[in-house]
Structure formats: structure tokens, C-alpha cells
Amino acid sequence: MSIAARLPSILIANRGEIACRVIRTARRLGLRTIAVYSDADAEALFVEMADEAWHIGPAPARESYLDAETILAVAKQANAACIHPGYGFLSENADFAEACAKAGIVFVGPPASAIRAMGLKDAAKALVEKANVPVVPGYHGAEQGADFLRAEARRIGYPVLIKAVAGGGGKGMKKVDRPEDFDEALASAQREGKNAFGDARVLVEKYVLSPRHVEIQVFGDSHGNVVHLYERDCSLQRRHQKVIEEAPAPGMTDEVRAAMGKAATEAAKAVGYVGAGTVEFIADGREGLRADRFYFMEMNTRLQVEHPVTEAITGLDLVELQLKVAAGEPLGFGQADVTATGHAVEARLYAEDPEKGFLPSTGKLWALRFPEGEGIRIDTGVEAGDTVTPFYDPMIAKVIAHGATRDEALDRLGAALSETIVAGPRTNLAFLKALTEAEGFRNGPFDTGFIERNISGLGAEPQPLDAAAVAAAALQLEEERQAEGLLAAAGRSDREARSPWLVADGFSLMPRPALGLALLVDGERVEAQIEWHEEGARVSLPAHEIGEGEHEITLAQAERGTYLALHRGRQTAVALFDPFSVDLDAAAGTGGVIKAPMHGKLIALFVSAGEAVVKGQRLAIVEAMKMEHVLVAPRDGTVTEVAGEAGAQVAEGAKVVVLGE
């Protein structure tokens, strides 16, 4: 019996790229696809792709994609045979998996018991230790007294890591190098754990030097079969968030793979695992990958963001396997049947600004273009004209490259990133391209600290004005201004308006005079000059050298009168300067206007009008795309105005607090 016969319809309890990904496979298998969407996603690509779509609530995730009761009610009304949770949101919610089972709807994931068993880091480590899976030396028990934990850290030996037992994504995780720093780090980890996960408990373990993050993809079925599908290396991280993933892991040997694979499958068997899961290990990379120097970190009881690199090297469709197992079928193959071909690398393309501390970026996608070609795959949930909102993860796409060798895969990935066009929100495109070319990553050895150690060389800091990009946009703006003026005055065609005999700035048989042009470049005034020569127009920017360069500059029109110049992965916004639209607060130059650095939610205000503050004092917190940004006082002063309101949405650049002397 086919999968479609057993599970004729599927509801995807997720959004964006992963919803599109699941819909593609489900449609190929003949399943009816059902999407759920929030207010913010009413016109999203995944909604358009699905056979039917149901509205489930407002934009905030807790009122829509995290509303298990509403989603389950929709599943019943839509006669969904199964629910695929994707990743994030409800994917590792044991109560939701249990509720699906009670409702007679198949949860495409592991049983609730397995999710619970692996849900807390301390309990998971205690469980896998019994299965003889190596864990990092440390304390994973119930005693949480500060004096006791401090003594345990001393016994383990510094440096140590303090981790929230319910943590993830780096929250509630603190590295401590010295005993005198332990108490402050412990208090901070406990606060973050309580705020983010509702659980202040922590564990303390040895910090692994030169850490490599290597994970094993496992798959189990309801017939007792568990296999692994090779490993992925996720060591290129920033603040514990993965940036580039690859498979297989560089430097992996058959001996280490066999040992890691055995440990991963034993961990999965220990909890009766069914479906797709990932067992994550930390490896001591000082002497390369060794069979006696890797340790269990945690198990993710769901499909991972980086699963496409595993699909690329194994030739398997992991979503199809998930549905097959969920339908009650056996995997149909054993460990000996799993083979890998070539090398695959995935880069996460995000709407964020590396030059401003990777702040999330929002806005309309005025242009979006991805390359096609041998060995290239693009997984995305957006298209040109869509808007990146502050409510969800800022991923625009996953760019995946597959080649016969690691070098070929990285070359293809770099070329694909060079050909990718994104105009609107700022992106990490140039940063990703720099990573593919970084000598230390190409030839190693590298570890999870590679990005932080090389952050400046990767371009993740304020960069000089891109004069070439500004010049290209300036020339386009001036040509349009000339053409529009002539067309308005004489009603001529566009071709006629571009004639040198009809320019609007006093053309004569004598050489044309240079034209001064005031521009607004990324919010700052810049003076440009255009000169006409026999070979054409030439733009110059006083105090800025315009390199010739071999990289193409792409111009994308945003709002009328504004061009986004895309050059080597960077974006520069250029418009004609309008003196009547000057920001008077900024022009005052007092440094007293504190603005929202990104579009988001003002989740806290710590001051009120009339209050005296000191430099560095916290004023407010803006939250967007799972990230908090604290606004602090730039100097001593008195609050003269509080323009924001806690709980309200604020636009990027919106005034929040004003300081007087």
C-alpha cells in the first residue's frame, strides 16, 4: 500500500522554507497538502503552494504557530491524516505529539516518550551514559546550590561550561575560564534559562578545547530498525548558531564514523526512537577527529535545518522517509545499504546585517534571484515582492552545493552566492561568500570558534562606503531625472529624451559642465559629481576612490527615487537628497535621540520622562526574530521624552527615548 493510501492528507504545522520543502515531497507522493498561516503569512509562498490553507491567528508565533489547540482543531476540520511539525515551533513538543495521537492523527515524528526523554540535557546525558555513549565529563545531577556547583567546577577543572538543562541555541550557556568568574556566570545562566525556557536548572561540564560540532543523522522505524545516514559538520557557528554545514565532516575516518554512528544509534535505541533525529556530539579537535575524543551533547528529536546536505550525499529524501515511517512501513534498508557520494555544503542566507552586529533586517524583497546549475539546490520560502517581517526567523534561503570533492562543493557554493541577488533587507551574503574563501576553513584545522576569531577578516564590521555602487546608482538617478524632466516638458518619447541635444541642464556645442549631485546614501548625505566625456559619463565622489573592479553592480529599484545597488554581496541604498526630508533630530547632533535599531517589538521600557540616567544605563529592549537588543544611554542626561510603549511594534529608526542635558 502506498504512503498516500495510508496517509492521504498532511497538515504542515509550520511556515516558510520548511513548509515549502514538505509540500514539495508530499505533493510528489500524492498527498493532499494543508497549510496553516498567521496574519503575517496570508500571502506567503507556502500558502500559495498548498492545496488548501487555514488561518490560525495573529502574527506573533505564540498566538498562531505555537497554538497547539487551534492547529489540532484545524487538522480535525480539514480531515488531515497526519501532521508534519517541521522544525522549531511545535516540533519537539511532547504534549502536542501526544495530543495528535489521542486525536487519531499521525504525528510525523518520534513518540512523545522519546521527545520527553531527550528534552532536558541533564536527563538525556544520564540516559545515554547507561547506553555506554560517551558524555563530556561534568555534573549533570539535581543539586543546584551555588556552593555545590562551584565545588563541582573546581573538581572538573577550568575552563568549564555552565548550561541551562532546557537550553538551546546558546541561551543559558556560559563559558567560565576562572574560578572568580563562576558566581556571576552561574547567575546569568540561571536567569537566561528561567526567562527563555521557564527552567533555571543548569549543568556544569568540562569545556572541550578546539571543539568540533559533529552530528549524526539517525532514522528509526516502528519495527525496531535504527540506522545512521552519515555525519554533518556544523562547526562554523556564531554565538552557537550554525552558519555553514557540510557532509561528510572534513577529516572524518572510517574508524571515527563507525564509533560515532554506533554511539548515535545506541542513543536512539535507548529511547525507542522512531523517525528522523539528530544526535549531536562535541569533539576535541586538537589532534583531528579521534574515536576516543568525542562526547554526546544532545539529541534533536526532529528534522534538522541542515538535512539537505545529507540528502545530497546519500540520494535519499528524508521527508519521504519520515512519511514512510509515519505510515508504519519499515525503512526497507539496513546500515550496510547506506552509501555516500561526494561532498555537500549548505549556507544559511539570513536577513541580517553583519556590519551592525548581525542585527536582524526587515522589509520588502524588491528583487530576489537565485542561480541554477549543476550541483546547486535552493530551499526558500519567499519570492520577490514578499516582505521579511520581524515576527519569525530571518532566513531567506538555504543555498546548497554538491560536488565530487569538498573543494568542488565549496567552489560551487561560492559561485552560487556570487550570483544570488537579494535587494531590500540587508543580508549576510558577502559574509557567507567570505567564509567559503577563508583559508582556515578551506584547509583547516577549524573549530566552533573560527568565526569569532576571524570576524574582522570576514567583513563583519562597518565597511567603507562602496563608492562604485554609489556611482552606478547616481548615474542611473541622474539619467532618470533628465528623462523625466524632458518627457514632462515636451511629451517626447523616452528615446528622444535621451538625445544629447535635449538634455535639461543647458547642453551646448561646448563641453558639458560638470554636474553636482547631492545624494542620500544609507541615510547619510554624500556629494557626487558627474562629468561627460567622449566615452560617456563619469561619476566621482570627493574623498572616495572608485575602484574599477571586476564585479558586476546590480541596481534594483525600491521606492520611487531610491535604488539599491548590489555589489559583491553588499547593498547600498542611494537616492537624490531631499532637504525637506531631513531628520531634524539627527541633524541636531546632540546624541540624545535613541532609536530602534531594527523593526520589532518594544518588550521593555526601563525609564520615564524626567528621570536622570547615566551613560550605559539600560533604557529599553527591542525584540525581533528571536533576538533581543538592549538600548542604552549614549551619555549622562535626563529623559525628556519616552516615545515608545512597552508591548508595541516599532519600526527600524523609530524614536524610542529622547535625552536632554
Which residues participate in catalysis according to the annotation?
Answer: 302
Asked if residues 237 and 215 have their Cβ atoms less than 8 Å apart, the reply is no
C-alpha cell at 187: 547567575
Which residue has 556629494 as its cell numbers?
527
Which residues are CB-neighbours of 76 under 8 A, at least 6 positions away?
103, 105
Residue length of the chain: 661
Q: Can you point out the beta strands (E) in 324-458?
A: 343-350, 352-353, 359-360, 363-364, 367-369, 376-380, 387-388, 395-403, 421-423
3-class SS of residue 283: strand
- Please state, in angstroms and rounded to a whole number, the distance separating the CA atoms of residues 543 and 527: 10
Q: How far is CA 401 from CA 77, 291, 570, in A?
A: 40, 29, 22
Strands 32-38 and 9-12: parallel
Strand partners, 359: 353
- Please state, in angstroms and rounded to a whole number, the distance separating the CA atoms of residues 540 and 530: 6
Which residues are CB-neighbours of 408 under 8 A, at least 6 positions away?
342, 343, 375
Q: What values do phi and psi take at 174, rounded to 5?
A: -135, 130
Q: How far is CA 448 from CA 212, 241, 287, 346, 606, in A?
A: 6, 10, 15, 16, 35
- Please state, in angstroms and rounded to a whole number, the distance separating the CA atoms of residues 353 and 86: 27
